[in-house]
Amino acid sequence: MSAPFDADALGALYDKARRLEDAGDIAGAATLFHACLEMDPDDHCGVVMRLAGHGLAVPQTAPPAYVATLFEQHAEAFDEILVTRLGYDVPALARRLVGAHREGPLRILDLGCGTGLVGAVFADIASEIVGVDLAEGMLALADERDVYTDLYVGEAVAFMAGWDEAPFDLVVAADVWPYLGDLAPFAAAAAACLAPGGSLVASSERGAADFAVTPTQRFAHATAYAARVLDAAGFQVAATEPITVRHEEGVPVAGDLLLAHRR
């Protein structure tokens, strides 16, 4: 449970920090961002990601409280923003890649399921689909698609690590890695909740370093790093496809789609 804080005071402080940041006063903004963290250690505003963008923090993952807040705020308009404005088509690309290597019916785990875009395109090869997301508002919209067997509020890595029921045949992580820096905990947890020979399909934003925070406060990963981490966790990478993850102000964001099988 998050520690209590004054949301109005935090919002005012964060807004002031952002104004300084936009004006080029990074030192002044950083001071106020750190004050935000003192007020709200769970970091609902995601200030650690903004600090990382200036080389002033090295987060291993985006704060779950920030991710949940971000997607709760945009739940109702999520599909219109992501699909229509940003040209997001990763679920369909993932479905096509999986279809070239696997046949149904499959027990599927949809991580960061959001409004259910993945569930909708994978329903034809699913015997069951379990969806997980940090934002309850997103899950309510996913439930309306009537394709999920179960829906859970939870963080992706912790959910997989704690899964003690029948293993899955396929784990789908569409637009999950951009909120994770270090992928080793994710890969280990995914291997643990998959049946032997089970598959993982995941999308990433492509970067030069193993992982680093981008100017849009998301993580980018080097293609070789992702493959190396999966290999160490017991996966065999079967396919890697370059993709356009989405568009930012009309500019394509380069990424990768990886399919790997648990050995």
**194-205 sheet: strands from edge to edge:** 150-153, 126-133, 106-111, 168-173, 194-205, 251-262, 235-248
* pLDDT on residue 82: 75
- Residue 127, CB-side half-sphere exposure with 13 Å CA sphere: 10
* pLDDT on residue 88: 85
pLDDT tens figures, 24-49: 999 999 999 999 999 999 999 999 99
* pLDDT of 173 over the 80 cut: yes
CA-to-CA distance for 52 and 46, rounded, in angstroms? 10
Give the count of beta carbons closer than 10 Å to the beta carbon of residue 42.
Answer: 16
Core vs surface per residue 78-94: b (16+ CB within 10 A) or e: bbeebeeebebbbbebb
> What is the average per-residue pLDDT within 147-169?
97
Whether residue 257 contacts residue 241, with contact meaning beta carbons closer than 8 Å, is answered with yes
Write out the two tokens for 10.
Answer: 């935090």
If you average pLDDT over every residue of the chain, what do you get?
Answer: 94
> What is the average per-residue pLDDT within 209-230?
96
Model-level pTM? 0.93
> What is the average per-residue pLDDT within 194-212?
97
Choose between 111 and 75: higher pLDDT. Answer: 111
* pLDDT of 74 over the 90 cut: no
Token pair 């067997």: residue: 149
Choose between 106 and 6: higher pLDDT. Answer: 106
Query: How do beta strands 219-221 and 211-213 pair?
Result: antiparallel
Coil, strand or helix at 135: coil
pLDDT tens figures, 9-18: 999 999 999 9
* Domain at 78-262, CATH homologous superfamily: Vaccinia Virus protein VP39 (3.40.50.150)
Q: Rounding to the nearest 10 degrees, give the CA dihedral for residues 128, 96, 99, 152.
A: -20
* pLDDT on residue 176: 97
Give percent above pLDDT 90 in the chain: 87
CA-to-CA distance for 199 and 108, rounded, in angstroms? 10
Ordered by start, the domain boundaries in the chain are 7-59, 78-262
* pLDDT on residue 4: 78
Token pair 């395109």: residue: 121
Choose between 241 and 70: higher pLDDT. Answer: 241
> What is the average per-residue pLDDT within 225-238?
98
Q: Which residues contact 149 (CB under 8 A, 6 or more apart)?
A: 128, 129, 130
How does residue 2 score in pLDDT terms, banded at 50, 70 and 90? low
Give the count of beta carbons closer than 10 Å to the beta carbon of residue 152.
Answer: 14
> What is the average per-residue pLDDT within 230-240?
98
Choose between 74 and 119: higher pLDDT. Answer: 119
Whether residue 210 contacts residue 237, with contact meaning beta carbons closer than 8 Å, is answered with no
CA–chain centroid gap for 236, Å, is 22
DSSP bridge partners of 168: 194
